[in-house]
Structure 1
Amino acid sequence: MAVIAIENAKNWQDKYRQIMLVGKVLAPLAEAYKVEAAQVKGCESQAWLYHHQLESAHFFCADSDSRIVKGLIAILLSATHGKTTSEIANFDLEQYFTQLGLSGQLSPSRTNGLTALANAIKQFAAT
């Protein structure tokens, strides 16, 4: 699993490279879906998020115009995609990124954007 590759990376450059590789897993959104209503507010770069609920499970698709942000989105979605409302509500972004060795490595603007994305996922799951 790609998240394990990030955990096992020996230094920040390797982690950065792994994050961008993970981002390639996300299919790009068609331009028609890159609309303001789907934009995640709080991200320095542009990021779009869509949600679908099937019974009690929540599914997401997302994209970004930044390769590193797209990778971070893919990592976040790997932890929340297909989860229940309760599982998503209890998801601890800070703890998850500490486990991956990413805490303190991201710029404040990327951390804020990632937090905004995690909050948007939680908000979708709560409705």
Structure 2
Amino acid sequence: MNLPVNAQEALSSFEQAAGWEQRARLLMQWGERLAPLSEAEKSEANRVHGCESQVWLVAEQQDGQWRFKGASDARIIRGLLALLLIRVEGLSSSELQQLDLPGWFNQLGLGRQLSPSRSNGLNAVLQRMAQLAAGT
């Protein structure tokens, strides 16, 4: 499967990271790249349930491709969210539903760092994306 440009960039930077310290720093940097959400976008309707941290997700579809914006109050989650968003950038609804999320984070070398609650939270985000893409 072809990766979006930003996802390819992330993958190569994470592959070059020497260990968890460097990956954690990269994670924070990717999190800082997230475009901020407006206060209006941080509404209850956009909040993702199933995450221990506060996470918001906003979706719009352009020409059959999905664009997502997200935010979180937790730095690690913000970084993971950023990496998830660049991975799904421009996917169609069916591609979104077939995404192997654990596989993507394993490729980045982050799979082992995902605690069950973080993993559940990211799956909740992915499920929410799929729901939005399915129009539910």
TM-score scaled to structure 2, two decimals? 0.87
Give the counterpart letter for 1:39 in structure 2.
R
Show the counterpart of 2:61.
53
2:103 is equivalent to residue 113 of structure 1: no
Q: CA deviation at 1:77?
A: 0.6
Name the SS of the counterpart of 2:111 in structure 1.
Answer: coil
Shift, 1:22, TM fit: 0.4
Counterpart Cα distance in 1 of 2:67 and 2:126 = 13
8 A Cα contact 1:42 1:112, kept in partner? yes
CA contact 2:11–2:107 (8 Å) conserved in 1? no
Distance 2:55 2:40 in 1: 14
1:28 matches 2:36: yes
- Residues 79-112 of structure 1: CA distance to partner in whole angstroms, max 9, x if unpaired? 1121111211111101111111111212221111
Over 4 Å off, 4+ runs: none
- RMSD of the alignment, in Å? 1.2
In the alignment, which of 65, 70, 77 is matched to residue 73 of structure 2?
65
Mark the runs of 5 or more structure 1 residues left unpaired by the alignment. Answer: none
Unpaired runs of at least 5, structure 2:
1-8
3-state DSSP of counterpart to 1:43: coil
Count of residues paired in the alignment:
127
Distance 2:11 2:52 in 1: 24
Which residue of 82, 85, 90 maps to 1:74?
Answer: 82
With structure 1 as the length reference, what TM-score do the two structures score?
Answer: 0.93
The letter of the residue matching 1:82 is G
Identity %: 46
